[in-house]
Every structure is written in C-alpha cells, then in structure tokens.
Structure 1
Amino acid sequence: MRGLLLNTALVIDDKRGIEIFRVLQQCPELAVVGVADLAADFSWLTEAERKSFFIAGDVDKVILLPGLNVVVNTAADPFTDGQRQQMLNGGIELVNAPPHGFTAALLRFKEQLLESRRLKGEFWAVLSSVQDAIEVVDSGGVVKYVNPAFTRVTGIPENKRVHRNIFEVSPQGALAQSLIQQKPVTGYRTRVGGSDVEVISNASPIIVDGEITGAVVVFQPVSDILKLMDQLKHSNTIIENLYAQIDQIAGSHWNFDDMVGKSKIFRATVELARKAARSDAPILLSGENGTGKNAFAHAIHNCSSRKRRPMILFDCSTLPESLQELALFGCEKGALPGVLHTRLGRVELANEGTLFIKEVNSLKAYLQEKLLLMLQERQFKRIGGDEPIPVDARFIVSANGAIKTEVLKGYFSEKLYRHLSLVEIALPPLRKRLEDLPVLVQEMLTRLNRKLNKRIAEVSPRALQEMAEYDWPGNLSELKNAMERSLAVADGSVIEYHHLAPYIGKNGARQSPQFEEIMPLDKIEQMMLKLALARYGESLEGKKKAAQALNISLATLYNKLKKYNDL
C-alpha cells in the first residue's frame, strides 16, 4: 500500500456505474471496499472481486463500513436525508459521478484528508503527552478517548473505558454533569467511577457549529494537588529562609569598627562584645527596642570563628505561637497535617554557624524548656522525629529590658535565662549616650542623603539642642526614622527644628526636675565640637573649616579639643 489510500464505496444502478467501478479499480490512490448495486445484479463481478470487498443491494449497509472515507454515487439520488446526515456525521465525503473530472475531485479530497489526518495525529499526540488525565465522550455519553494519564491516575485500562457510557460508569462525575447541564463544570471534587481515586475535575461541552457533539474532562488527583500545596509551602519556607539570609547578608558588613559612638558607656559595651565574640558561649543582648541589638549580633558573628558560616535569624515576635516550634526545630515528613516532606528548622540551617534568636522572651513556655534541653544536651529532635540531631551552632539571643522582670514573675524560665546569659551585654539607650548624638546624626545624614538623593549639609544648633533634650524611647530606630522624615520634607540645605518638631515634640521630652531640663554649657559645647569634626573631618583642613563654622580660632579649637581629651 503506497501512502494513504482512500477507502471508497460505490453506489451503482446501471452499466455506466460498472464502467466507473473498473476505472476506480485502476486508480492507485483508491481502495474499493464496498459496492451497493441497486439493481441487485452482481453477475458482472468476478469471483475474486466478490470476495475482496463488501457487496450489498442497498445503501444502508455500505455507508456503515468501518474506515470509509468516500462514497462515489452513479445512481439517481439514492440517499435519504437521514443517510446524508449519517455520512456527514461520520466524516464521509459524497462524490456524485460522473461529473467531469470526478477522479481529480477524489484526489483533491485525498489531499485534504491527508492534512486532516496529520493534524489529528498531532492533536492526539499532544493529548497523549499531557500529564493531566483526559476523557472524551460523544453527545450520548459514550467514551471515545482516554489518554495514558487517565490510566495512570485511575488504574482503569483504555479498553475497559472506551465505548462505555459515562452515565453508567460515572454518573456523578463532572463529565456527565457537563453534558446534563450543557455548560462547563469547574473545580468539581469527586471520585472517578470504577476507581477509588478522588480527583478535582474541570469539564466542558464540545460545541461544533453551535451544537453539542460531546464533552471533555481534565482532572488531577487530590493527592497530587496536596503534594503541590506542600511543595509550595516548602518553597515558601525556603524563600523565608532566603529572605532571612538576605537580611543577614545585608547586615553582614557590620563589625565593631563600624559602630558609631565615642561615649564611655558605648565604647565599654563594644569592647565587652568584642571579647565575647572570641568564644562560643551563648550571648544575651538585652536592652530597649531600637538600641542596635541586630547590629551587635552581626558584629559578634563576623568577629567570631564561625564568620565563614551562615548566621540564621529566628524572630520569635513575628511568628504565631503555632508555628514557632515548626520554624525552630523542623518537622519530619507526615508528622503534621499537610507536611509531605521533611522540613529543616532554623537550628539545622545554622549548623556550624550562628543562630540569632530575636525577642527570645516571646517564646512559649514549653518551647523555652525544649530550647533549654537542646542547649544542655547539644542535640534535639524534629517534630515527629525519633533520631536525635547534634547541634553545632553558636547562640546569640536578644530580649527587651523586661526579661529580668519576666524571670522574677515566672513568665520566663530562670534556668534558660541563666544558660543564655553566661555573657549578657546590656546595650545602653540613646538617652544614656547623648554625647554620641552629633556623630550619630552626621553618620545618618550621610547615609540618608545617598538614599533619598538629597544634599542636606547639616542640622541646625537649635534642632540638635532639641534632639538632645528628647527622651528617644525608640532609641536609634526612632532617631533614624525622625531623620529620614525630616530629610524628606526639608527643602534647603539645613534641617531646622521645625522639620523635626512633629517627631520629637515636647510631649516626648524627658520628665525630670526643672533644674535638670537645661543642659550644661560645656555639654552643648562638646556636642557642637563633635558635630563640626564629624561634618568637616579631623584633618588640618577639616579643623580649619570646623573652627570657622564655630566662629572660633584654630588655636581655640585645639585648646577645647585638649580640654575634652580630643573627644
């Protein structure tokens, strides 16, 4: 057989039809599979021809031949409307002969059929490669096609499903409902008829020329969807960890040399942290909110022997209590609903590095005990796990100033507090280191100018005086916020008091006896000297500019620097 043969049937009623039959037999493009002789005279056929194709005395049986492509008619309109519709529905081409060039018409039809079959082949190949299960029925509900994924998902072989009626095998399914309702059915959760598999289905009618000729359903097992949801949750956990690590990388430049401030209390705090960084002992960073505990934690890690390993952040205050244990210690596969993969906790992610637990006093009581046990035994178990996992991490924790009160009241484990506070570093609030205010302001001014694309040169003396009299309950964080807002609204080169007033108004001034509300002159002088040197630098040229800005001579500047021990 060469190429594609057109399976052809012939309808004749006289000698002329017999002649056309002989012509068709000689055409290599055609395969005669049936003849309907309306005269019921088959004497013209040889014995071999009688055995090689189907013969009948009427049209009905011939047009039902399987695989029939074309019917050549030489009789005088022998077809009823029903027979014509039947051929149309079956994709059978009707060619009335003998028109001039009817053989050429047959060949043109062959080319169309070739293209149609090619496209159909590509279409079925696509359906066969799709990973979702697909089932197709005709308008009467008879299953015409299932793809390989259908068998993989349901376990039902193709030969056990095709030619079955959907209203019998799966009357409650999305496919049957789509045919009944004559509209799409989406997100339909049910079990596949003939299988125990629970699926989520989307079905839709097939409409051709405005008529419903069938329907198609695409579905996935609920188990696969749950797996995808779990993978998404797992991915979200990874993303959260990556964000945490990005935050850590963003802060990883912090080291003790970057710490801004020359006050005795601050330099003593830095020196204590520098010494503590050399050991692996747990460190408790205590202090009010905004005092720089995050920066100190990074600086300690970056000066430790673990600096080449990750520092993992676990912020207790940002996680609901129900997720704290999962996030900290991880979970074995299947130990909790929807957990289909083993999840690593922050403790494991910090292996050989540093785990920074922020606001440790926000941990629930039972997690405090579990954390204490882990620190004592240097091992832990994931949720649902049986095997202990060794712990090799440096622990830095932070807590607000109320943690000692919480210990006394029994809200926080005293044993855990003692274990975590082998080295306790209390970070001073900004109001205790106001002499650092000028250099802090200048450093923030430099960074915020870059961030906001501004060119603010200085903070006015009045504004600095008001800042020195403010209590700063939010400490460095509040100072940065006030500076950033002031820069955003300042339209000149100087931040004046009225730029800052909305953020550090008198309502926030320190409540103290009246005689303490006025700052000593030498304190103000010292602050102005620091601000001038921070702005212009400590080179000879910088000191000349500083002296000029302060309206004093260079010699007077040197005398004052000596008076204040070179600041």
Structure 2
Amino acid sequence: MSSIRTNKAGNSISYLSSKMFSSLQSHESETSWGSFLSLGELEKYCRDLLTNSKEQDASALLDVLLSREILLGILETLQEGIQVADNEGIIRYVNDTFLKIIGLKREDRLGKSVFQVSPDGGLATVLKTSKPVSNLRNFPTGTQVELISNATPIYVFGKMVGAIAIIQDIQDVINLTEQLKKSETMVQNLSEKLDHLAKATYSFDDIIGSSVAMQNVVEMAKIASQTDTTVLIQGETGTGKEIIAHAIHKASARSKKPFISINCSAVPPNLLESEFFGHEKGSFTGAHKRKLGKFELANGGTLFLDEIGDMDLALQAKILRATQEKAIQRVGGEAKIPLDVRILAATNRDLRKMVNEGTFREDLYYRLNVWNISIPPLRERKVDIEDLTRYLLGKICRKLGRKRIHLSSTAMRVFFNHHWPGNVRELENVLERAILSSKGKATIEARDLDFLTLNSSTGMADT
C-alpha cells in the first residue's frame, strides 16, 4: 500500500495519497468486494479524518485498511461458504468455498440481487427484517443444492450497511452429524468398556485349601486357564465358584482383557436379553440411549455366567446361538456383531437332572460342559477349615481396621463340628460377626460363637 505524505504544520496531515485510493479501486475491481459506502464516500470520509487527525490516527487508519486485507484472506480459507450483500441486496463478496458448494462461477453471483437469486435465503431474510437468522434452509435459484445458513446484519457507525451469511451444504451438515454420532458411540463404547477392565480380582493364591479335593480343583482350573475352552463350574452356594472363575481368567492369555460377570438369577426376566446382548436407542420403552450388552463388554476377554441354571429356556437358546455363531445382535438392531469371548459358567444346580426334566437345554449343557470343575462343599473338606479360618481372619481384620485376632482351640472345635450349609461364605460371615462381637479381645472363644447353630447330626467327626 502506498505511503501517506504528511505536512506537520500544526501537527496535522494535509492529504491522503491518491495512489492508495487507486490501489483500493484496483482491489475493488479484482475482488468485487466493494465498500458498503461508495468509494467516493469512503475517500471523502478518509480525507476528512486525516485532515483533522493527528499523525497516529493516520497510522491507525492504515492498520484498519491492512486488517481489511487480512480479513479477506481469512474469509477465503474458511471451510464454510461466505456471501456478503450491501443494504440494497447487491452481492458484493463470495468466497471460493461458497462457489464450490453451489457449483456456480463468481460472475453468476457478484453484482446480482439476493432478492432474485436467493429470495428465501439468509441474506434476503436479514435485509428484509434487519434481524439475524439461524439454520435457515433453502434452494438458491439455478442450483439443486439445499443450503443451510446463518446470517446477520452488518452495522457501520450504527448504520446497517448490509448483511453476511455463513452457508453450508445441508448434506455436509447431515454427514458431519452422522460422524459425530459415530464418534459419540465410540466414546460411549470405550467408556463402558473401561469401566469393566481388569475386574478379575482373585488369583489362584486366593484359593485356600490343602485337602486333596481342593488341590484337584486348583489343578483342573490351572489347566483350563491355559486354553480357551468353555468351563462349567459346579458347586453348592458359597463354595467359591466365582473365585475359581476369576483365577482362571487372571492366569489366562486374556488376563489384560475384560472380565465381565453377570448373575443370571439377579436380572429381571424382561431385561435379561438387553443385559446380555445390549439394545439400540428407542428399541423399547425406557431405552433412551444405546447400551452395550455383557457379550460386547467382554469382547476379547471372558464372560462369566453365574447361576446359569436359573436362566429361562428362551434365553438359553439365544445364548447357545451367540456361542455357536460367535456373534450377537442387539435388541432393536439389525447388524450382526462379531465377538471373541471366552465363556465360563457356574451353577449350584444339577444341570444334568434339569436336562432330563426339560428345564435346561441339552445342547447348551453340552456346549458349556466341555471342562467340568466340581467344587466340594466345606463339610467334605474340613481339613481345610483351619487354613481358611486363618486366612479369613487376616482378611477381615484388615477390612475392619482391627488388630490381628486368633481363634481358640475350643472355638476351632465348634467350627469342625458345624455342618456349614453356607460353605466358605458362611464361615467368612461367622468370623466377621465374631470379630465385631469380640470387643477388642485378642482371641475368639467358643462362648463367642453361641449364635452359631450346631448341626447335631454332624457330631464331632472329621476333627
């Protein structure tokens, strides 16, 4: 831009170089940007300003004009279409993106009236109402493209001199919305999966028992941990089936992948399918958003089906299909989702008997019962009671923040005489109650176990 020559008499600037205005007029011709005021008005305004201003004001004006050049450069780099019209509705500027969107040339728009080429568009609406508009959709004349625009008035010194519109192809907006939805879904999927990572908390070190029966159980579980074989763990309530499942997963090649557990008896029947396979948004009343099922959450890892004997026949068929096809379909969805999931199942029921009674599918039974681990009840391995008691006392004292407490020989005799229908879980509950009742004593005596009902039929055996 040409320089401004100054006359410092009286600290004023006498005139603005005509070369600068020639440059502006040349730029006007090249870009068809056009001032909303006429160039003559602009020149008069600038001359008046400079004649009556200090030298620093002239510098400020140059900054303004330079900013205009920078603004034009910025508008050309935007990914959105830009269209500007003066207060008469004459289109003064369009950027390259806008021309690409509508598929027209610059001369098809510059100098044209918005009231003719796009009478229901954003610019025309703003010029008619002097108010901004948002998300206005229309088809401009001479195009097959549906546009969406946000437009607003432009004011200079309090006077509305035109309007500017930011314009997008509606299809681009739709595509972007779909991409955002997919991204949100991916984030939600990752969030749900992260909540279930590294949930296998027990290892083989947490399985206590020196009896031959328990050593056999541990050996079979360790064999299972080295394969992807489906395992059926059977045993009475409280024998430690879940601990065995955790230990198998934690020692397996899938140990760094999710371990997902679901108690089949604890889920309401009407939600079972959704819990296992997930659902799409709106697939049923209350399905306000998409949800991953346990199978998807366990993908790459292990799915532990606890109390599988309590599952109804209809769902058994779908579980069988999922394990055979290695794929699931969400409730309300159409796509088959491939999965890589290792299945561990547990039950305290006699599945073979249930098959004979017709309450458990025979094909699913054989699908699950590839490697069977049967955990003996505590009453059949009373030799393990002392080791279990010592281990559980330490665990409970740490949980309660208590000093280490011991069991007297008479109290241990009470334990050996008890039938333990609740197995190890009952033993743990009894010990916690005894510790809480001990009132800071260092030893639990037999009299502290009065609440424990002895099974008289057991007698004093197995001591």
TM-score in same-fold range (> 0.5): yes
Give the Cα–Cα distance (whole angstroms) in 2 for the partners of residues 290 and 203 of structure 1. Answer: 69
Corresponding residue of 2:203: 255
1:422 to 370, 387, 395: 370
Q: 1:147/1:289 Cα in 2 relative to 1: closer, same or farther (>3 Å)?
A: farther
Tell me, yes or no, if structure 1 residue 276 matches structure 2 residue 221. Answer: no
What code does the residue aligned with 2:455 have? E
Cα distance change on mapping 1:259 and 1:115 into 2, 3 Å: same
Counterpart selection for 2:273 from 321, 324, 331: 321
| CA–CA separation in structure 2 for the residues paired with 1:403 and 1:474 | 20
Q: 1:31 aligns with which of 15, 19, 24?
A: 19
- Residue in structure 1 matched with residue 2 of structure 2 by the alignment: 4
* Distance in structure 2 (CA, Å) of the matches to 1:119 and 1:446: 73
Give the counterpart letter for 1:371 in structure 2: A
Larger Rg: 1
Total equivalences in the alignment: 404
Alignment counterpart, residue 183 of structure 2, candidates 221, 224, 231: 231
Give the Cα–Cα distance (whole angstroms) in 1 for the partners of residues 377 and 117 of structure 2: 75
Judge conservation of contact 1:290–1:478 (CA < 8 Å) in 2. Answer: no
Matched residue of 1:4: which SS? coil
Task: Provide TM-score, normalisation by structure 1.
Answer: 0.51
Q: Which amino acid aligns with 1:282?
A: T
For the structure 1 residues 150 and 325, does the alpha-carbon distance in structure 2 shift closer, same or farther, using more than 3 Å as the test? Answer: farther
1:455 positional shift? 4.8
Task: Provide closer, same or farther for how the CA distance between residues 346 and 473 of structure 1 changes in structure 2, counting only shifts above 3 A.
Answer: same
Instruction: Give runs of aligned pairs for residues 107-506 of structure 1, distance below 5 A.
Output: 111-139=59-87, 142-151=90-99, 155=103, 159-166=107-114, 168-170=116-118, 185-186=133-134, 188=135, 190=137, 193=140, 203-206=151-154, 213=161, 214-217=163-166, 219=168, 221-247=173-199, 251=201, 254-261=202-209, 266-286=214-234, 292-304=240-252, 306=253, 310-314=256-260, 321=273, 324-325=276-277, 350=300, 355-359=302-306, 361=311, 364=315, 367-374=318-325, 395-401=342-348, 404=351, 413-427=361-375, 435=385, 438-445=389-396, 448=399, 454-458=401-405, 475=425
**CA deviation vs aligned residue, 1:471-499 (integer Å, no higher than 9, x gap):** 7699499959x96x999x99x867999xx
Tell me the CA shift for residue 158 of structure 1. Answer: 5.3
SS at match of 1:276: helix
TM-score, normalised on structure 2? 0.59
Letter of the aligned partner of 1:4 in structure 2?
S
Offset of 1:107 from its aligned partner?
A: 6.9
In structure 2, distance between residues paired with 1:197 and 1:476 = 73
Q: Residues 476, 4 of structure 1: CA spacing in aligned structure 2 closer, same or farther, 3 A cutoff?
A: farther
Shift of 1:421: 0.8
Q: Which amino acid aligns with 1:397?
A: L
Whole-Å separation in 2 of the counterparts to 1:255 and 1:262: 16
Residue 285 of structure 1 aligns to a residue whose secondary structure is strand
| Residue type of the alignment partner of 1:227 | Q
Residues 277 and 328, structure 2, Cα contact 8 Å, conserved in 1 = no
Q: Given the superposition, is the C-alpha separation of residues 153 and 280 from structure 1 closer, same or farther in structure 2, using an over 3 Å criterion?
A: same
CA apart distance, 1:276: 3.4
Which fold has the larger relative contact order, with Cα–Cα distance below 8 Å and residues 6 or more apart in sequence? Answer: 2
* Secondary structure, aligned partner of 2:244: helix
Per-residue CA shift, 1:153-174, capped at 9, x if unaligned? 5555555455555555555556
Give the letter for the 1:31 counterpart.
K
C-alpha contact (below 8 Å) 1:460/1:496 kept by paired residues: yes
Aligned counterparts of 1:410 and 1:199: Cα–Cα separation in 2:
63
Deviation (angstroms), 1:288: 7.2
Question: What do you get for the CA RMSD once the two structures are aligned?
Answer: 6.0
Q: Report deviation, 1:233.
A: 0.8
Tell me which amino acid in the other structure corresponds to 1:238: L
Deviation for aligned residue 1:347: 10
Match of 1:516 among 448, 455, 458: 455
Once the 2 structures are TM-superposed, how far is the Cα of residue 110 of structure 1 from its aligned partner?
A: 5.1
Deviation at 1:202, TM superposition (A): 5.0
* One-letter amino acid matched to 2:364: L
Structure 1, unpaired ranges of 5+: 7-22, 35-53, 55-65, 70-82, 328-337, 340-344, 498-505, 524-562
CA distance in 2: counterparts of 1:143 and 1:394, whole angstroms: 62
Opposite residue 392 of structure 2, the aligned amino acid is V
Q: Does structure 2 conserve the Cα–Cα contact (< 8 Å) formed by 1:291 and 1:428?
A: yes
Cα distance in 1 for partners of 2:364, 2:120 equals 59
Match of 1:95 in 2: 47
In the TM superposition, residue 420 of structure 1 has moved relative to its aligned partner by 1.4
- 1:68 and 1:201 map into 2 onto residues whose CA distance is 22
Instruction: Give the distance between the partners of 2:140 and 2:165, measured in 1 at CA.
Output: 15
**Cα distance in 2, alignment partners of residues 322 and 126 from structure 1:** 51
Q: Is the 8 A contact 1:281 1:395 kept in 2?
A: yes
Superimposed CA distance per residue, residues 389-435 of structure 1 (whole angstroms, 9 cap, x where no aligned partner) = 8x9x6833224446838756766542122121122234567898893
Task: Identify if the C-alpha distance between structure 1 residues 201 and 515 changes in structure 2 by more than 3 Å, giving closer, same or farther.
Answer: same
Distance 2:378 2:84 in 1: 73
- Deviation digits for residues 503-543 of structure 1 (CA, Å, limit 9, x no counterpart): xxx9xx9xxxx8738997x69xxxxxxxxxxxxxxxxxxxx
